[in-house]
Amino acid sequence: MGLESETFSGLQVDDIISTILGHVMENYKFKEGRAITSEDEYYNKNPSVSDQTFCLVYIIAAESVNLIQRPLFEKLKIVRERISEKGIPQVIVMTKVDEACPLVKNDLRKIYTSKKIKNRMEKCSIEVGVPMTNIFPVKNYHDEIDTNDEVDVLILKAVDQIVRSANAKVARGALK
């Protein structure tokens, strides 16, 4: 189940926040239209450090940024605000950049000079509220047989920043 534009469709914002904070136990079946409560048997009232999330990663396809409806961005903004209150770092991994920009499709090294990619990153930054410095464009492997260093560098850069952000959160102390 994913996050949907409609208010009570798909995963609920409160379920996402509860999961990030470690309150949702394994094997819980998310329910459309109803978030987990402290009365549920799968609600973890006292999450341990290992139950908690130390960096929230949004995965957003570059070609769909302009297609995302306002209500979905509003839900993402609520998640960002509530998670920010807890000091949890957040990043966006913008996937499929090659499908969103012909210039990048022909030469992946143009990813940071592409106006189309920059505009989509800016839209994500404005709509979700994640700073541009925390948005990482990447190309997906989908029909390649061999690995490609240019693709790998982008993916590794994103993963490196995610790990650094999570480590910084751990160093500042576990969630309360």
As for how many domains the chain has, the answer is 2
Contact 36, 45 (CB under 8 A): no
Examine the domain organization and report whether 90 and 18 are in the same domain. Answer: no
Examine the domain organization and report whether 36 and 73 are in the same domain. Answer: no
Residue 14 structural domain: 1-46
Examine the domain organization and report whether 42 and 62 are in the same domain. Answer: no
Examine the domain organization and report whether 21 and 90 are in the same domain. Answer: no
Examine the domain organization and report whether 81 and 34 are in the same domain. Answer: no
Contact 125, 132 (CB under 8 A): yes
Tell me: pLDDT of 5 over 80: no
Q: Return the pLDDT at 1.
A: 64
Examine the domain organization and report whether 117 and 62 are in the same domain. Answer: yes
Q: What is the mean pLDDT of the chain?
A: 92
78/84 Cα distance (integer angstroms): 10
**Boundary of a domain, candidates 16, 31, 46:** 46
- Sheet containing 90-95: give its strands across: 56-61, 90-95, 135-137
DSSP 90: E
The stretch 90-119 carries a mean pLDDT of 96
